[in-house]
Chain A
Amino acid sequence: MRELMARRRRAGVPADLWIKCRKCGAMHYRPEFEAGLRVCTQCEYHDRLSAGQRLDLLLDDPSSFEEMNVGVVSADPLGFSRPSGSYPDRLEKARAATGRSEAVVCGVGEIQGHSVAVGIMEFGFIGGSMGGVVGERITRLFELSYDDCLPLVIVTASGGARQDEGLFALMQMVKTTAAAVRLRKARVPFIVVMADPTLAGVTASFASLADVIVGEPGATIRFAGSRVVQGTLSRRARAEDHTSEWVLRHGMIDMVVPRRDQRRTIGRLIELLASGRETACVHPADSAAALSV
């Protein structure tokens, strides 16, 4: 391996053609690593994916995916500033770094032949944090799913509520929770894939209300971020205490599914949940009744 790298270096191949597994340290040839869905062939570690890579992984025909609500963008309700820059500056940097307008990408696509509403959180965009825009876009996705009886698949990767928007961000937990509750009443399947990491305000709102919750291998899934725990309890939690496998063992999610099997598994779940005539999508007379039936 080292020899191969040295040879490539001599041949003028840039070093970033190689990528090191963040868990076991194994070196992978980047094109092969990407082709293998960023899963380490040595230790099965699932490295983080961008929203675009997620869409490629999950959708039958990623090229036909249409992103919705890209015009819903952040206001700066508090005039917030961090040492690393003002909030609008940080948003601008995040846009440049990810090529995304916000921390979630929503639209409609097909999974195993089923038309589905899809939401993918982009961790690269300010830690996938949920502020007003993520809350609004996800709520609209729930509403689309409800209105058009489209099964809903959301992949979560988020540090939680976006601090820069203060209580506005926290309230997105209620907003998305309410939308999830409303969807339950319409009997439209709602599936969540919890990717690394799924934390705090996202774990503790719409994500944990899915009909079926799938964890990605090794993903960190928890309520309290380690920095917060350290600040509050003056001790550090062990990383291995809060993985997909750990929350599965404690009864909080339904299954842990490797990346390569996710499309097939999600397709099968939708098929089982949505195919029977007696369980087909129902719309109570109006939206208010949807909550009170």
Chain B
Amino acid sequence: MLEFERELDELRDRIVGLEASGNVDLTPDADRQIALLRLELDARTADVFSKLTPWQRVQLARHRDRPHVLDFIDRMVDGFLELHGDRLHGDDMAIVGGMGTIDGRRVVVVGHQKGRGTRQNVERNFGMAHPEGYRKAVRMFELAERFRIPVLTLLDTPGASPAVEDEERGQSWAISESMAVMVRLKTPIVAVVIGEGGSGGALAMGVADRVMMLENAIYSVASPEAAASIIWRDSSFAEHAAQALGLTSDALYEAELIDKVIVEPAGGAHRDYDGAASNLKAAVVDGLDELASITTERLVEARYAKFRAMSAHVEQPQEAENSR
């Protein structure tokens, strides 16, 4: 539980307590009290969540109970068949991928999978993909292209795995190659940041025709801790960094770096997996249907133009053109 969730949880506890005490036959008075508490909980939740700081968003994006990729796949993809391996080195458990249907539409889904608890987190490397993870993703992207299946990527990673072994197997090369394949992929791509969109490790699967974020997800040039260690030489300045980096969904929508913010249920996605999945599914279906009517040539051209236009520069009159 996060600090700012505490008062909401206390309200919830009181409601549960009252309900339990009058379990058999609720008096009209207790009934009324519960109804009032529910109203108060709704109002407080709305209030707290309307004033979230960027750092609180970071905490929500990493919430222990936040739904992960497989939680969403379970709730929105029918008949999902998971596929494994990069055919070169191994099967990275930090990346899950496979095929299924969403309301009858075929789709290849690839995402970063975090774990819960120590054992799972070690197995999934905390959602930090190795080079073989990105190569596994590329294999699935190309499979999707061959069979004309749209791609959905779900991004949720603190960043790509930075260990020496990852460098040995070409982490940089794996990431750039994944982006290079997505840039020219002849099938529609929808990408959604569902939790942490950590730097190049997220971007490697984030080149898409529609880029969306769940409301409390974050998407950042570096994790707040990494940015803090780069800028302040001290990762404990992460809260500062979160504030400065403009990594929230509303800020990025405002900056036109993402196309859509997907609303989360009251209290955050971790309080209502089904509600979150249903909102995500609706947005993905809209995106896929929009893209389905566009020819592949147009699609690839528009994808190029979309990222070509992402910039942060101004053009000044050039007086010193010839200086060396």
Give the B-binding residues of A (Cβ under 8 A). Answer: 52, 55, 62-63, 65-75, 77-78, 80-83, 101, 131-133, 135-136, 139, 161-163, 165-175, 177-182, 200-201, 203-209, 222-225, 227-233, 237-238, 241-242, 247, 250-252, 287-289, 291-292
Cα distance A174–B162 in the bound complex, in angstroms? 20
Tell me how far the C-beta of B27 lies from the nearest C-beta in chain A, rounded to whole angstroms: 55
* Contact, CB under 8 Å: B244 / A70: no
Q: How distant is the Cα of A207 from the Cα of B175 in the complex, in angstroms?
A: 12
What 19 new A-B contacts, CB under 8 Å, besides A174-B207, A175-B308, A224-B167?
A65-B324, A70-B321, A72-B316, A75-B313, A75-B314, A77-B255, A82-B231, A167-B246, A168-B312, A170-B220, A182-B304, A207-B176, A209-B176, A228-B230, A231-B228, A232-B226, A252-B170, A288-B298, A291-B304
Contacts of A206 in B (CB 8 A): 176
Chain A, Cβ-Cβ closest to B218: A167
Q: A168 contacts B311, CB within 8 Å?
A: yes
Residues of A within 8 A of B244 (CB): 78, 80-81, 166
Q: What chain A residues lie within 8 Å of B20 (beta carbons)?
A: none
Ordered by A's residue number, 16 sampled pairs between the chains whose C-beta atoms are within 8 Å are A69-B318, A73-B314, A73-B316, A74-B313, A75-B312, A161-B221, A162-B221, A167-B245, A167-B252, A168-B257, A171-B310, A177-B179, A181-B180, A204-B172, A229-B163, A232-B225
Asked if A291 and B183 sit within 8 Å, CB to CB, the answer is: yes
Asked if A167 and B183 make an inter-chain contact with CB atoms under 8 angstroms apart, the answer reads no
Kindly state the interface size class of chain B when it binds its partner.
35 or more
Smallest CB separation, A138 vs chain B (Å): 12
Contacts of A63 in B (CB 8 A): 324
Max chain A Cβ within 10 angstroms of own Cβ: one of B159, B175, B230, B247: B230
Closest partner residue, chain B, to A132 (CB atom): B312
Verify B220–A68 contact, CB threshold 8 A.
no
Residue interface mask B193-215, A partner, CB < 8 A = 1: 00000011001101100000000
**Tally of A-B Cβ pairs under 8 angstroms:** 238
Asked, given contacts A167-B221, A180-B180, whether A225 binds B296 with beta carbons under 8 Å apart, the answer is: no
Minimal beta-carbon separation of B210 from chain A (angstroms): 14
Alpha-carbon gap, A88 to B289, bound state (A): 43
> Which of the listed residues A81, A178, A227, A251 has the most CB atoms from chain B within 10 Å of its own CB?
A178
**Separation of A214 and B173 alpha carbons in the complex (Å):** 15
How far does the Cβ of B88 sit from chain A's closest Cβ, in whole Å?
12
Q: B: which residues have CB within 8 A of A?
A: 158-160, 162-164, 166-173, 175-177, 179-180, 183-184, 186, 199-200, 203-204, 206-207, 219-223, 225-233, 235, 244-247, 252, 255, 257, 296-298, 300-301, 304, 307-308, 310-318, 320-324
CA–CA, A80 to B251, complex, Å? 14
Complex interface: chain A residues within 8 A of B220 (CB): 166-167, 170
Chain B residue contacts of A62, Cβ below 8 A: 324
Main secondary structure of the interface of A (DSSP, over half): helix
CB-based contact A70/B318 at 8 Å: yes
Q: Which residue of B lies closest to A225 (CB)?
A: B230
Beta-carbon contact of A208 and B172 below 8 Å: yes
Of B226, B312, B323, which contacts A228 at CB under 8 A?
Answer: B226
Kindly state the separation between the CA atoms of A228 and B321 in the bound complex, as whole angstroms: 38
CB-based contact A204/B257 at 8 Å = no
Q: Please give, as numbers and ranges, the residues of chain B lying within 8 Å of A247 by CB-CB distance.
A: 167
Whether the Cβ atoms of B313 and A166 lie closer than 8 Å is: no
Q: Are A288 and B301 in contact (CB under 8 A)?
A: yes
Are A72 and B313 within 8 A (Cβ)? Answer: yes
- Chain A residues with Cβ below 8 Å from B203 are 170-171, 173-174
